[in-house]
Structure 1
Amino acid sequence: MEKHSRRSFLYSLSMLAAGTAITSPLLGFNTTKKLKVVLVGTGVRGISFWGKRLVEQYPDKLEFVGLCDINPGRVAYAKKFMNVQCKTYTDFDKMIQEQKPDLVIVTTKDSVHHEYIIKGLHYGCDVLTEKPLTTDEVKCRQILEAEKKSNRKLIVGFNYRWGPYMTKIKELLHEGLIGDITSVDFNWYLNNHHGASYFRRWHGLMNGGGSLWVHKATHHFDLLNWWLNSDPEEVFAYGALEHYGSKGPFRGENCRSCNYKKECNYYWDITKSDHDMRVYVDNEKYDGYIRDACLFRHEIDIYDKMSAQIKYANNTIVNYSLTTYSPFEGWRIAFNGHKGRIEAWTDIPWMKNENLSQEDLHAAEMSQDKSEEKLVEPVILFKNWEDYKTINVTSERSGHGGGDRRLHDKIFANPDAPDPLKHAAGLRDGIMSVLIGIAARKSITTGQPIKIAGLTELKPSADRT
């Protein structure tokens, strides 16, 4: 009975990954049979969004039976922070063999996602991975092959899709109000608080996160793929490192010990955060990872300005850019169609005549606390030869615009709920989103456009319906 119950839940997860109708995870369950979950990678994102929040919100649906990290101090802290009683490990294989989990959640450094995804599938577990899926096309192919050989499925944690504002855009496009989409202009701005943070961490190294083309922009490319209901076909890109890294005016070992604290506008005092001190600083002695590393250290080798032109299989052309040192954080997008145009944006200060603290803004977005604050954000619909219409969308700030909790609820509370707009993201979605960033890197290196079809066995489809 226990085996049957767990497999009923896992079947639900499998169908969720495929984006199709799924049965309830409660089928065959009773209060004593919970989903056995393990987490590998106990950084801040892992132990909060994929850790503590699940423990607190779904205690009757799941239980953590193991936590794993290469850093023994960090995984010990994770156990306390998440308030769980499970064993901790530094050996992933040992954890899986001892605990025999139903679900593996992967929140490690991006460059090793594939290792734990493949092992998890090999051991007969379903796998849920934080975005991005992985960092290069070779690893994409390895993951594809592993899923084929297993009878398990992979879910990619794309949370942005689930926010009410993103969903309204999808609805308007799905209704065909502006006809077939011909072109898109998409600009994303990371502020000099949030944007800079990537260059302090392992994300600033190409061999860690595959650059922000992959680690960050995978979110944006997944939204594009979902909104357009099509796959990318070809990418041409430009990129450079001109602001951070060796381009900086001075540098130190880290912010705590730096001699330029007063001169540096980017000085960040990690000691003000007890949580960051416990997760990272207290455990530097185990693996040498410095969380408040210098933004101007010479080893940084990713791009800090990026622009790409993406041609989709349905003939839509997208112009995309990512700025990493903007005075404000937000984004703007415009869809052009044969019958009109849709414009949307969030957090552009002058649009609302407001001046928000950029650090507080980012903290509010990342917060997993249930917020009562409601936002009203406009989407502008232009139809040819008609007056434009303003469509006000009720949204929220916390949890990535409300996307976090909706994603979790779909996976762990209501997997059988209707999904007419196909919010649920599986392996193909994960691959197609990272392949745009991978192709962009290759295009910058070669100076040539890169065909998506040449990167993996997956061939771009004009219509993902």
Structure 2
Amino acid sequence: METTRRKFLQSVSLLAAGIAMPVSAFSFGSSKKLRVALVGTGVRGISFWGKRLAEQYSDILEFAGLCDINPGRLEYGRRHIGVTCPTFTDFEKMIGETKPDLVIVTTKDSTHHEFIIKGMDMGCDVLTEKPLTTDEDKCQAIIDAERRSGKKLIVGFNYRWSPYNTRIKELLAENSIGKITSVDFHWYLNTYHGASYFRRWHGLKKEGGTLWVHKATHHFDLLNWWIDSEPSEVFAYGDLEHYGANGPFRGDKCRTCGHKSECDYYWDITENDHMMRLYVDHEKHDGYIRDNCLFRNEIDIYDKMSAQVKYKNNTILNYSLTTYSPFEGWRVAFNGTEGRLEAWLDIPYQKGETVDQSEMHAREMDQSGEEDKDQEPIIVHRLWKDFDTVRVAMERGGHGGGDMRLQDKMFKNPDMPDPYGRAAGLRDGVMSVLIGIAARKSIETGQPVKIRELTDLEPRTKRV
């Protein structure tokens, strides 16, 4: 059984390093299961990294403990996940008493570094939700902790695992358009999903590092992976001109607001039983309000963002993020020495269909595993030739099918070769978040920011 444990942990280390798993690295079927501890029992923690793990991989792993600063939310989370493990409001006590193999961090972004560092220093490998952290000093502290502890960090970048995004990677790796020279990437958050960030703690720079970090780290990781290089310099613009103090009126929170009938953004949390029981029922413990006014004066993040990023291999990226679009979707175009590749998802008028925008995010986050498949195009246009349309079968739920594939690779098929290198470790987490950190610093200073000046990791021309 100890041999099984060592093989499992060796595989975690290889996964964190982005190395293909050796055959039979895991020996499932043993009575010795991987012991997992989860810190942070919000929606993402208790669903994707909680309930789904307990339901899908109970023969492989077991929950050793759950931790959160809110005891009410913690107990509700334990029941929702469906486990009987002990619960803790003290992280170090949980680690000391339960001795987990793997710590999963799904807390507020500004505290990720605290639990990542403590977890590794106390002898655990760590898996963290994106983003890795919120500033360059915390980045460096995490880098130092991995070096001194000898433990490994995995970053849960699920977008890489979507079949659609993987097909883009495959086409680029095949040199279908030659050497990539520039990229245009534009992400549109609709007035349902985009607005939700401004209701929550994400609306405060000190908590989420702005959406340059919390949201865009997803996009920057995809781009680093697609381009197969690392960023060297960033220049950005951004402003807050729609949400926050710009609103026509404001209230205490949606439930008690006197502007319900006239506010287009009014959201009735009382209609969602899960949200009521997870958040509203336990506000008294920590004061966290889930249906905050998105026009409150304290909001200090950006709601429109644009950046230019130069990569070490000389590729130029033009990126934008809009948080109040009438629709939710994205576009990307790669220009190469031999052609151009274009891809997009969820642009409603591209397919001439009407999409219920209020259901978009719920469908993306759905973990039920129910079939909801479609085919989406990728356009490959070579110089002097007509274009080709490559159609990709994909799911809608679970972040385009990426959630399931990420977890299956980690816990069910670790020995399956992955020619696309989708596993993400510490360096991937650092390089994705540093673009957002650099963009934020560029806006504040009006100057371009060099990535190598933020941590002691020197950007590489080619990802390894």
Shift of 1:61: 0.5
**1:152-173 CA deviation, whole Å, 9 max, x = no partner?**
1000000000000000000000
1:293-442 matches, cutoff 5 A: 293-442=292-441
Q: Give the match for residue 291 of structure 2.
A: 292
Q: Give the match for residue 104 of structure 2.
A: 105
- Residue type at the aligned position of 1:411: M
Q: Distance in 2 between matches of 1:200 and 1:174?
A: 40
Asked if 1 retains the 8 angstrom alpha-carbon contact of 2:303 and 2:322, the reply is yes
Q: Give the match for residue 180 of structure 1.
A: 179
Q: Give the match for residue 85 of structure 1.
A: 84
**1:6-44 CA deviation, whole Å, 9 max, x = no partner?**
221111000001111223677455441100000000000
Shift of 1:364: 0.8
Q: Give the match for residue 255 of structure 1.
A: 254
- Residue type at the aligned position of 2:418: D
Q: Distance in 2 between matches of 1:24 and 1:269?
A: 51
Q: Give the match for residue 223 of structure 1.
A: 222
Q: Distance in 1 between matches of 2:371 and 2:26?
A: 33
Secondary structure of 2:150's counterpart equals coil
Root-mean-square deviation (CA), in Å?
0.9
Asked if 2 retains the 8 angstrom alpha-carbon contact of 1:9 and 1:24, the reply is no
Shift of 1:53: 0.2
Secondary structure of 2:22's counterpart equals coil
Shift of 1:371: 2.2
Asked if 2 retains the 8 angstrom alpha-carbon contact of 1:241 and 1:304, the reply is yes
Quick one: structure 1 residues 119 and 24, their matched pair in 2 at CA, closer, same or farther if it must change by over 3 Å? farther
Shift of 1:204: 0.3
Shift of 1:177: 1.1
- Residue type at the aligned position of 2:321: L
**1:171-194 CA deviation, whole Å, 9 max, x = no partner?**
000001111111111000000000
Asked if 2 retains the 8 angstrom alpha-carbon contact of 1:12 and 1:24, the reply is no
Q: Unaligned stretches of 5+ in structure 1?
A: none
Q: Unaligned stretches of 5+ in structure 2?
A: none
Asked if 1 retains the 8 angstrom alpha-carbon contact of 2:20 and 2:417, the reply is yes
Q: Distance in 2 between matches of 1:62 and 1:268?
A: 38
Shift of 1:5: 2.4
Secondary structure of 1:335's counterpart equals strand
**1:273-314 CA deviation, whole Å, 9 max, x = no partner?**
100001100000000000000000000000000000000000
Shift of 1:373: 1.7
**1:25-80 CA deviation, whole Å, 9 max, x = no partner?**
77455441100000000000000000000000001010001000000000000110
- Residue type at the aligned position of 2:105: V
Q: Give the match for residue 463 of structure 1.
A: 462
Q: Distance in 2 between matches of 1:332 and 1:28?
A: 42
Q: Distance in 1 between matches of 2:90 and 2:64?
A: 14
* Percentage identity across paired residues of the two chains: 69
Q: Distance in 2 between matches of 1:24 and 1:96?
A: 31
Q: Distance in 2 between matches of 1:188 and 1:289?
A: 29
Shift of 1:151: 1.6
Shift of 1:464: 1.3
Secondary structure of 1:256's counterpart equals helix
Asked if 1 retains the 8 angstrom alpha-carbon contact of 2:29 and 2:59, the reply is no
1:26-175 matches, cutoff 5 A: 27-28=26-27, 30-175=29-174
Secondary structure of 1:386's counterpart equals coil
Q: Give the match for residue 21 of structure 1.
A: 20
Q: Distance in 1 between matches of 2:144 and 2:123?
A: 14
Secondary structure of 2:177's counterpart equals coil
- Residue type at the aligned position of 1:366: M
Asked if 2 retains the 8 angstrom alpha-carbon contact of 1:12 and 1:25, the reply is no
- Residue type at the aligned position of 2:221: D
**1:360-414 CA deviation, whole Å, 9 max, x = no partner?**
1211111001121211000000000111000000001000000000000011111
Q: Distance in 2 between matches of 1:78 and 1:71?
A: 10
Q: Distance in 1 between matches of 2:390 and 2:288?
A: 46
Shift of 1:419: 1.1
Asked if 1 retains the 8 angstrom alpha-carbon contact of 2:37 and 2:63, the reply is yes
Q: Distance in 2 between matches of 1:356 and 1:103?
A: 40
- Residue type at the aligned position of 2:126: V
Q: Give the match for residue 267 of structure 1.
A: 266
Q: Distance in 1 between matches of 2:89 and 2:189?
A: 34
Instruction: Provide TM-score, normalisation by structure 1.
Output: 0.99
Q: Distance in 2 between matches of 1:406 and 1:27?
A: 17
- Residue type at the aligned position of 1:311: K
- Residue type at the aligned position of 2:286: D
Asked if 1 retains the 8 angstrom alpha-carbon contact of 2:369 and 2:397, the reply is yes
Q: Does 2:207 align with 1:196?
A: no
Q: Distance in 2 between matches of 1:352 and 1:323?
A: 21
Quick one: structure 1 residues 383 and 222, their matched pair in 2 at CA, closer, same or farther if it must change by over 3 Å? same
